[in-house]
Amino acid sequence: METETETGDGNAFRLQNELSLLEAMYPTELSYDASRKEMTFKPKNRSSLCLRIPESYPSSGRPELISASIGAHDLRNELKKAMSEAPDAEEMLDAILTAFQDIADAAHSEVQSHVNDVELSKTELGGQAHLTVIIWLHHLLSTTKRKAILAPPTTSVSGISKPGYPGVLIFTGPAQDVNGHTKELRGLNWQAFQVRAEEEELWTFKHGTGVVEWESMAEIVDDIIEDKKRVFMEAMRMK
């Protein structure tokens, strides 16, 4: 009986630590109902995830998938497969959230295929779909990653990168190119990679075109045009 109690206390302690980290990463998107033992994750892209956490997690139990969707699309089958690949007796909530976001992004891209065709037609007529994304990283230290960020596949993508703790990325340009660069970077190994804001318009920067690297938040704010500074600061939870 003593061993069971110690195991239960240990599980509760490990879960609390894991939830604290996730709540810091996703302060507005993630919530946990202790009475129901359910964790809910709702990013800003209309996707939603709900997991039930057993008392035996993480030492032996695994999270139970209650729901996973984006819009009207059920993503449970795809996510169950990804969850089955996670190792036993280890914390896995962060890995589940990352897998869910990847699956939701892929589903969203598929749903938008017809929209993309329309946007290509608009381009031929002189119009073009643009996108700006603001991304928060737990940290950005790797020289390899920093070089990849500064070298998007096409020169049509411009933006800003800030290394350190936290890392910050801003990309703007044709929606298809921005999504492609973001997806390629997301495929690298990150402790946390979170899209904090998206706008379907083209941003301009004081530095001009291309992706540049700044060392501080103050330099980023200074580089952003006046009417977009507030958007960035709100995305970064800055006063």
Q: In the chain, where does DSSP find H-type helix?
A: 2-25, 76-84, 93-111, 113-124, 143-149, 175-186, 217-223, 229-235
Using 50, 70 and 90 to split pLDDT, how confident is the model at 114?
very low
HSE-CB at 127 with a 13 A cutoff on CA atoms is: 9
Using 50, 70 and 90 to split pLDDT, how confident is the model at 236?
confident
- CATH number for the 122-235 domain, one of 3.40.50.1450, 3.10.20.30, 3.30.70.100, 3.40.50.2300? 3.30.70.100
**Nearest of 171, 34, 185 to residue 105 by alpha carbon:** 185
Q: What percent of the chain has pLDDT over 70?
A: 89
The yes-or-no verdict on residue 104 having pLDDT over 60 is yes
Question: CA 218, CA 162: separation in Å to the nearest integer?
Answer: 11
Burial-class residue 93 by CB neighbours within 10 Å (0-12, 13-18, 19+).
buried
**Nearest of 202, 197, 135 to residue 170 by alpha carbon:** 135
pLDDT at 213: 94
Using 50, 70 and 90 to split pLDDT, how confident is the model at 111?
low
Question: CA 123, CA 26: separation in Å to the nearest integer?
Answer: 36
Q: What is the pLDDT of residues 16-64, one digit of tens each?
A: 999 999 999 999 999 999 999 999 999 877 899 999 999 999 999 999 9
Question: CA 131, CA 178: separation in Å to the nearest integer?
Answer: 7
Give CATH 3.10.110 domain extents, the chain.
2-110
pLDDT at 71: 81
The yes-or-no verdict on residue 100 having pLDDT over 80 is yes
**Nearest of 31, 65, 20, 71 to residue 48 by alpha carbon:** 71
Q: Are 48 and 42 in contact (CB under 8 A)?
A: yes
Average pLDDT, whole number, for the chain? 87
Q: What is the pLDDT of residues 161-178, one digit of tens each?
A: 999 999 999 999 999 999
Mean pLDDT of 114-127: 50
- CATH number for the 2-110 domain, one of 3.90.550, 2.40.128, 3.10.110, 1.10.20? 3.10.110
The yes-or-no verdict on residue 87 having pLDDT over 70 is yes
The yes-or-no verdict on residue 6 having pLDDT over 50 is no
The token pair that represents 39 in the structure block: 């964790």
The yes-or-no verdict on residue 131 having pLDDT over 90 is yes
The yes-or-no verdict on residue 120 having pLDDT over 60 is no
Question: CA 206, CA 63: separation in Å to the nearest integer?
Answer: 47
